[in-house]
Structure 1
Amino acid sequence: MDEQAASRGSWRHELRATIALAWPLILANLTMATIQAIDTFFMGQYGARELAAAALGINLGFLLNLVGLGIITAASPMMASALGRGAGKVKDVRRTFRQSLWLVVTITVPIWLLLANAEWVIGLLGQEPSLAAGAQTFLYGWMWSAFFFLVFNALRNFLAALERPGWILIISAAGIPINSLLDYMLIFGRLGAPELGLLGAGLATTITWGLMVIATVIVVLRDPQFRRYNLFARIWRPDWQRYCHMWRLGLPIGASMGAEGGVFAAAAYLMGLISAQALAAHAIALQIAALSFMVPWGIAQASTVRVGLMLGRSDKDGIARAGWSAWMLGVGFMSMTAVLMWVFPRELVGIFLADTAENAPVLELGVSFLIVAAIFQIVDGAQVVGQGILRGLHDTRVPMVFTFVGYWFIGIGIAVWLGFEAGWDGVGIWTGLAAGLAIVAVLMLARWMMRERLGLTSDEPSKKITS
């Protein structure tokens, strides 16, 4: 009986620890997603075609940001495992953080080059020339935010590994009113600012992320708990062994996140082949789904840290508790949001779109897309938490394969067939997305359940890197 009570106590402790770490990350994710939602909202008020053009730009830019974010996410389980081992943790964490900034610089330059020529890329994908030109205008202002976004998330990985994500929440929340004010001024030309339309929306995002990075750096330099890590000491000094190891660990994560983000970007471009109205409706439905996704994503980020800590301690029971606690929380929340989207689709879509006769077709399409989005909420939560707990075990390569097979071969394949061959149009594309997410969720869960048989619960490879 005492053993059963101790087991229940261990599970309650893990749930509390996961929630305590996850909720600031969740709220920080929500505030970051809200910044993008604010851009969508203001562009929706500015015009449906401008919203469609911005959607093309955002989908391309965000896809590249996701790949970069995935690569630097390698720092999170590495720092967590180092903290779990204890010995030499300050130096080890500093080395990892420093190389994550080297990764940011390496990644940002090609992102800028590609976004500076986005109109050509978007045109190759069959989009209307006027929409492609509008997307390029938006990206001329937005593209510089990629650097600030990645630096902010490198700092965020450090704070999360120390289980102190509260500062990220505070700073991210402050970005919401700042971005709202800048959008209002620069898109519409209010409060003495010039009316820049699409360019203004992009510039507002860049300025907001830049200010958030400055604020986070000040916190890391001044807070005594963080200052002792001396993160920016000799930042110019290379550490090629760790840099290469982070590439090996992070590139599959970036590819996985890019595969997932890319499939939604591909869906946007498929919508553009149907009509500008379908593309605008897709942008709204996707924005609503993305906001709900921020919760299981935050839980997944917390699970990477919790599983990584247990891995560093060689605690196999702790690994199991950390993983399953996060999985139940993520799937449970997304089950509730599925009900909400199913019951109130029109009200949710109406938040983002002005209620005019011109916008009525977009509203109806958005409602139909959101009903399908409600169906895949549960599997979306399952797959992202599944990836998070496997990353905590430093397992990234096989999950990368799962994402490519599930999203691109199955998901996009079904989406194209239903959308264009079967005549389902946009609803068919969203149905294909749901099918791809379901396949990936099943594969991730199966690999997690086989973790000990596959030898994933040993921390030996990570220990070699710190020697």
Structure 2
Amino acid sequence: MSSTFSSTSSSDPTSPRGHALTLVRIALPLALSQLSEMAMGVTDTVLLGGLGVTELAIGGLSSTFFFTTMVTFQAILGGAGVLLSHGRGAQEYGHTSHDGRSVMSATLMLAIAVFIPCALLLAFSKTIFGAIGEPAEVVTHGSRFIDILLLSLLPDLAVIGVLRVALPALGAETLLLWIMPAMAICNGLTNAALIHGWAGLPAMGLYGSATATTLTGWVVSFGLFGLCLTHERIRTVLKPAPVQWAVVKELLKLGGPMMMGAAAEILMFQITSLRAGELGTHSLAAHQVALNVSSLLFMVCLAIGQATNVRVAYWRGAGRMEQSRRAAMTGTSIVLMWSLATSSLLLIWPEKILPLYFSNRAPDPETTALVVILLRTAGLYQIVDGLQCVFSGALRGCGDAITPMLIAVASYGLIGLVFGGWLAFHQHVGVEGLWIGMALALAVTSVAFGIRLVRVMRRPVAIS
């Protein structure tokens, strides 16, 4: 096998402190890059909120539908991170594994393949919005908003998507810090300019936000790929290699269930957003603000979950199962501390967040009350949401994908959607009922993932 993986240096990476420092070193760049990306959504929401509640609701719903659909298909690439991390551990401890170039070539081919069904689904957004009973203005303007975003789908999937999976697994996650914060700044300035017509540009209103986000996606794709070419180790891995079907099968074996599990969770949030639209623009606007805030805070948990995935797979490749277990426990501890802090913030001071989203025009009392209720509900599920994320990352690092998929589909489908919908529409609880269903689904998933992780971690691992 060619030496395409990096080595991890630490005075004692197997000590509790060593595990914590390694996880933080991996998670911090990921969190900052993901927060930068989320800042784009926050900026878009704030700027659209200045146009009014209707524009905020349409733009938020359309963006959510586009990006959650894209992320669902992108999840199939997750197997690449496991194979690359496993390969690093195997190489550094004298074992054999897949070559990095073969994994990257197969991953790129897979990304291009999933682009086609993803683009087709998004192209029918107008039909989908109409079929589920969205208001006419949402159907018309929301579908046009998505059509503009579609122009950046290919680089989002095949460049940014692939590199965001590969760089942490290859120990080069810090490269994301060079480009992602700049992306957030570029997006914010371009959004403001095209929405309001600054610097001599046309005032495009709602569609200016979609145009700015599309332009930013292309700029970031070229910038990140160019940056990777300056990094010798990453440049070596990116060199084309013949696609090995054995590697493709491994990617599909891991990535297929990952995509289905991610789809179950993402669709729960996405369908809930669509249902919130059925309850009116007040409910939809409140839902978008609360979802935006909770998603922003969740990015840290997601980064720690990804770091845990990398380290668990690394130690399994090395044949050191006791260290794999310690990495999982350390990641759980870090997530728990962060989740407790953010949960307290949302439960105690939800009113402090509201002005950030409606700086130019105060919302009506109904929207204000709904936002406060939903933020407090989000505070309740911050802890279980963070735990299920790190448990999921550890399970993926162990190569366990099918059982977590089944758990996610059952929990998010039956509890999050069916029970939440029953509360909202049959018991007339409204948008609060939708959020209660999501919170219970995340709690059940967290417990089930935790039990599964304990069992999987007890199994021996074969070393070649």
TM-score tier (shorter)? over 0.9
Cα gap change, 1:242/1:9 in structure 2, threshold over 3 Å: closer, same or farther? closer
Structure 1 residue 157 displacement after superposition:
2.1
CA distance in 2, matches of 1:315, 1:302: 17
Structure 1 residue 452 displacement after superposition:
4.2
CA distance in 2, matches of 1:356, 1:222: 46
Q: Does 1:352 align with 2:357?
A: yes
| Aligned match of 2:371 | 366
| Aligned match of 2:90 | 85
Structure 1 residue 53 displacement after superposition:
1.2
| Aligned match of 1:123 | 130
CA distance in 2, matches of 1:358, 1:16: 44
| Aligned match of 1:3 | none
Q: Does 1:152 align with 2:157?
A: no
* Counterpart residue type for residue 298 of structure 1: A
| Aligned match of 2:76 | 71
Cα gap change, 1:406/1:307 in structure 2, threshold over 3 Å: closer, same or farther? same
Q: Does 1:41 align with 2:49?
A: no
Q: 2:246 is matched with which residue: 241, 245, 248?
A: 241
Other structure's SS at 2:172 match: coil
* Counterpart residue type for residue 195 of structure 1: A
Q: Does 1:226 align with 2:234?
A: yes
Structure 1 residue 138 displacement after superposition:
1.0
CA distance in 2, matches of 1:71, 1:306: 20
| Aligned match of 2:105 | 98
CA distance in 2, matches of 1:78, 1:438: 29
Structure 1 residue 90 displacement after superposition:
10
| Aligned match of 2:190 | 182
Structure 1 residue 355 displacement after superposition:
5.6
Of 129-138 and 350-359, more deviation after overlay is shown by 350-359
Structure 1 residue 32 displacement after superposition:
1.1
* Counterpart residue type for residue 45 of structure 2: T
Unaligned 5+ runs, structure 1: 1-5
Q: TM-score, normalised by structure 1?
A: 0.92
Note if contact 1:141-1:201 (Cα within 8 Å) is conserved in structure 2: no
* Counterpart residue type for residue 206 of structure 2: L
Q: Does 1:111 align with 2:114?
A: no
Of 56-65 and 251-260, more deviation after overlay is shown by 56-65
CA distance in 2, matches of 1:90, 1:200: 48
Structure 1 residue 146 displacement after superposition:
2.5
Structure 1 residue 196 displacement after superposition:
2.1
CA distance in 2, matches of 1:93, 1:120: 42
Cα gap change, 1:23/1:323 in structure 2, threshold over 3 Å: closer, same or farther? same
* Counterpart residue type for residue 438 of structure 2: L
Note if contact 1:419-1:429 (Cα within 8 Å) is conserved in structure 2: yes
Q: 1:282 is matched with which residue: 283, 287, 293?
A: 287
| Aligned match of 2:210 | 202
Unaligned 5+ runs, structure 2: 1-10
Q: Does 1:421 align with 2:450?
A: no
CA distance in 2, matches of 1:67, 1:105: 14
CA distance in 1, matches of 2:231, 2:13: 36
Note if contact 2:13-2:22 (Cα within 8 Å) is conserved in structure 1: no
Q: Does 1:396 align with 2:424?
A: no
CA distance in 2, matches of 1:288, 1:30: 11
* Counterpart residue type for residue 269 of structure 2: F
* Counterpart residue type for residue 199 of structure 1: Y
Cα gap change, 1:45/1:396 in structure 2, threshold over 3 Å: closer, same or farther? same
Structure 1 residue 89 displacement after superposition:
7.9
Of 135-144 and 398-407, more deviation after overlay is shown by 135-144
Cα deviation, 1:347-388, whole Å, max 9, x if unaligned, reads 112211236455443222111110111000000001111100
Structure 1 residue 225 displacement after superposition:
3.0
Of 137-146 and 96-105, more deviation after overlay is shown by 137-146
Note if contact 1:50-1:134 (Cα within 8 Å) is conserved in structure 2: no
CA distance in 2, matches of 1:89, 1:458: 14
Report matched runs for 1:8-19 at 5 Å: 10-19=15-24
Cα gap change, 1:43/1:355 in structure 2, threshold over 3 Å: closer, same or farther? closer
* Counterpart residue type for residue 458 of structure 1: V
Give the number of equivalent residue pairs. Answer: 451
Cα gap change, 1:9/1:255 in structure 2, threshold over 3 Å: closer, same or farther? closer
Structure 1 residue 254 displacement after superposition:
1.1
Cα deviation, 1:47-85, whole Å, max 9, x if unaligned, reads 211111122212221221121221011100110001111
Structure 1 residue 259 displacement after superposition:
1.1
CA distance in 1, matches of 2:453, 2:180: 32
| Aligned match of 1:323 | 328
* Counterpart residue type for residue 434 of structure 1: A
Structure 1 residue 423 displacement after superposition:
2.1
Of 352-361 and 396-405, more deviation after overlay is shown by 352-361
Q: Percent identity?
A: 27
